[in-house]
Structure 1
Amino acid sequence: MSADSQPKKTPLYDVHQDLGANLVDFAGYLMPLRYASETAEHKAVRTGAGLFDLSHMGEIFLSGPEAAKALDHALVGNLSPMAVGKARYTMIVAPDGGVLDDLIVYRLADQTYMVVANAANVDVVREALVERAAGFETAVDDRSDSYALIALQGPDAAGILARFTDAPLADLKYYAIMAGQVAGVDALIARTGYTGEDGFELFVSSGDAVKTWQTLADVEGVVPAGLSARDTLRLEAGMPLYGNELTSATTPFDAGLGRVVKFDKPGDFVGRSALEAAAQTPAGRRLVGLVARGRRAPRKGYAVVTSDGTPCGVVTSGAPSPTLGKPIAMAYLDSGVGETGLAVDVRGRHEPVDVVVLPFYKRS
């Protein structure tokens, strides 16, 4: 393996090693899969607070007088009307309507936006934005290596973070962002997350990552959490994962996320004609939730079958649910398939499942 193909290390790599994390190559980065018990990490986020290193995510800035117009053209959402300090979930699609990535866009100032992309897709998103913004008066700047991203998630997150910042967290609504200091470190504080719980994502300079992490990790009850817990948390919350529920062969409408596509915004956008056709055409499949009746968990790629064993869909994500105490999954079912008498082929055995409305878990 050549040196340039070695996985990257986040600014918190040494911290994870000291904590005894099981480190794995994820999207080109050495990331903590778990520290001890992924179930304990999961439950800490549901009942208290968990701390995540998300520094593998990408931060791409667009700035200039036509930054908003460029994003309206490049993405499926309508970003121009979004107020400063707000965030929006959106997607970037190919001309054929296939999803290239799902994104969160933050408006940091009148002419400045931050696009947060999934780690595996940063290059694709950056290159697409550069190409699509070429005709607009805006600059595209990938600052991913300059930022660390630390997430504090769970019902206790707000109370814990308030101990280390003077920022008015009570005024920070869900899907909003503000500049402030955390433990004396300059940060962008966003009330966003991928766990189904209240929480915050803190964008800090790479050099401030260890101090920020350690300050929060030293609080009694805060539990470092890895990728495994993050995956079961987002699965319970019914949140799609790129590469699973979303792919370049999937349109937003396939995934039941057509609401993020804004046809009423002014001007054209990449993928509009394909998505207009997709919106008018009955989907060939639909995304559903599955709860297994037995103990064997459906996994990504397993076939969903009818009562006579006929394949009728495929599992996109699956795992035992620590909160529900049962295996759960998201799956695409073929058009016209009913929701009774289904099973998942788990290594040759047909395990009965029940179709349920997503999400599996919603905080009270």
Structure 2
Amino acid sequence: MSVIEGVHEDHGATFRSVEGRRVVADYGRPERTHRAVRNVAGVIELGYDIRAVTGPDRIAAVERATTADVPRSDGEGCYGFVLDDGAIVADAHVYNGGDRLLALLAPGRGDWFDRALPNSGVESTDLTGELAVFGVHGSQATEKVASVLSTGGGAPEPAHTFVRGSMGDEGVTVIASDAPTGEAGYEVVCGVDDAERVFDTLVNRGLNAAPFGYRTWESLTLEAGTPLLETELDGNAPPVLTRHGDEGGRQLVGLAPDAVPDPGATVSGDRAPIGTVTRALESPTLGKPIAFAVVAGEPTAIETDDGGRIEAGKVSLPFVEGSQRSGRCPEA
């Protein structure tokens, strides 16, 4: 559940459920908001499951539980996956906070992380109900954060590093993201009691930023070539993100279809099925259809429910070149 649902409602939000978590779908006109984020900056409340891992063996334990190489220095972080029998079941952003590690996981996936941790030497504490996380993304996101953050050192860099500071009277931790929207990006972590004031600061103070929801998040990340857990990663092995693919030759690719296909539609190549569409939409930036698909072979078309075919060739990623390249965009 959103920690500031009433505030979102005042902005005209509609909601949806992601893994049982109530999140903002959009505030109306998601395509217009998409362009506002690309051109300036936007703010989204992210529905993470949040864990704090403590204990003398915390770094080794999290490295055993995930594919991440956890930094040894306070103020640094990393990104990796929780696997079950070789398949991705959660993605994890892990940050070294000195005496604890903070893990941000996709909604509803914290339990997978807990089960993957060793039974001794560490303790995982659920902070989902105690902390709020806001994403700030856009071509001017750095200027936006710098205009409201008091740290003495400006916005953090490079990706996966963080600084502690304040926005107004509220204490915050600001993390440099790996540019999942193809633009500069940050995540602002604060206590739930401060969340309403921090959100107001991010939207209305300093450089203005447009609030946006998960529909715009999905269109921005698709344009940037960033796979999401729910659509591209869940159940697949990490090698699908490489140019060589997994053991079956399956890899995540970008398609340029003649029309927007349905998620789950069959992708064909040389008259035989070779994979499945994971996500597709009419790109607000390009004004034409784009799609992600997991395939084993060279795609040529997408099958439709009525027996028709949509011509769809493979294209290089990202679909849209923003101010930064997403750190999660699959290899060419």
* Length-normalised TM-score, structure 2: 0.90
The equivalent position to 1:242 in structure 2, one of 229, 233, 254, is 229
Q: Where does residue 173 of structure 1 map in the other structure?
A: 158
The equivalent position to 1:344 in structure 2, one of 302, 321, 326, is 302
The equivalent position to 1:143 in structure 2, one of 92, 112, 127, is 127
Aligned length: 319
Are 1:231 and 2:218 an aligned pair? yes
Instruction: Please tell me whether the aligned partners of residues 86 and 107 of structure 1 are also in contact (alpha carbons under 8 angstroms).
Output: yes
Q: Where does residue 198 of structure 2 map in the other structure?
A: 212
Q: In structure 2, how many angstroms separate the alpha carbons of the residues matched to 1:298 and 1:221?
A: 35
- Report the Cα offset of residue 255 of structure 1: 3.1
Instruction: Please tell me whether the aligned partners of residues 194 and 230 of structure 1 are also in contact (alpha carbons under 8 angstroms).
Output: no
Shift of the 181–90 alpha-carbon distance from structure 1 to 2, 3 Å rule, reads same
Letter in 1 for 2:298: G
Are 1:119 and 2:74 an aligned pair? no
Provide structure 1 residue ranges, at least 5 long, that are not aligned to the other structure: 1-8, 259-278
Letter in 2 for 1:77: A
- Partner SS for 2:64: helix
Shift of the 120–362 alpha-carbon distance from structure 1 to 2, 3 Å rule, reads farther
Shift of the 156–333 alpha-carbon distance from structure 1 to 2, 3 Å rule, reads same
Q: Render the CA deviation track for 1:287-330: whole Å, top value 9, x for unaligned.
A: 111012x2x2123101112354x322110111111122211111
- Report the Cα offset of residue 181 of structure 1: 0.8
The equivalent position to 2:317 in structure 1, one of 338, 355, 358, is 358
Determine what percentage of the aligned residue pairs are the same residue.
26
Q: Where does residue 66 of structure 1 map in the other structure?
A: 57
Q: Where does residue 273 of structure 1 map in the other structure?
A: none
113-122 or 239-248, which deviates more: 239-248
Shift of the 30–78 alpha-carbon distance from structure 1 to 2, 3 Å rule, reads closer
Q: Where does residue 303 of structure 1 map in the other structure?
A: 266
Are 1:36 and 2:28 an aligned pair? yes
- Partner SS for 1:120: coil
Computing the radius of gyration from Cα coordinates, the structure with the larger value is 1
Provide structure 2 residue ranges, at least 5 long, that are not aligned to the other structure: 324-332
Q: Where does residue 93 of structure 1 map in the other structure?
A: 83
- Report the Cα offset of residue 362 of structure 1: 3.1
* Length-normalised TM-score, structure 1: 0.82
Q: In structure 2, how many angstroms separate the alpha carbons of the residues matched to 1:84 and 1:362?
A: 32
Q: Where does residue 45 of structure 2 map in the other structure?
A: 53
Instruction: Please tell me whether the aligned partners of residues 313 and 333 of structure 1 are also in contact (alpha carbons under 8 angstroms).
Output: yes
Q: In structure 2, how many angstroms separate the alpha carbons of the residues matched to 1:163 and 1:143?
A: 28
Q: In structure 2, how many angstroms separate the alpha carbons of the residues matched to 1:216 and 1:282?
A: 45
Shift of the 142–170 alpha-carbon distance from structure 1 to 2, 3 Å rule, reads closer
Matches within 5 A, 1:16-27: 16-27=8-19
Shift of the 299–206 alpha-carbon distance from structure 1 to 2, 3 Å rule, reads same
